[in-house]
Amino acid sequence: MLQEKAGEVAGKIWNALNETEGLTQKQIKKATKLVDKDFFLGLGWLLREDKVFTSEVENELFVVLK
């Protein structure tokens, strides 16, 4: 069940990032209406699948699609 949810949340994050130059954690959470727990679940999925690159910009998490 959790694996299914992780895939769903990852899809929401991917869709928010699609056709952008990348977004901050706050921007993604605002666009997807995700809480921290779910955001990190989906982000972990995307990182494991090597679909995103993360960095820290001005003390904020920044995520870009590969």
The CA distance from 63 to 61, in Å, is 7
Q: Which domains does the chain have, with CATH numbers?
A: 2-65 (1.10.10.10)
Helix and strand totals (H; E) in the chain: 3, 3
pLDDT at 65: 97
24 membership: H or E segment, kind and range:
strand 23-24
Q: What is the pLDDT of residues 15-53, one digit of tens each?
A: 999 999 999 999 999 999 999 999 999 999 999 999 999
Above 90 in pLDDT, residue 2?
Answer: no
Write down the pTM of the prediction.
0.93
Which tokens in the block code for residue 11?
């899809």
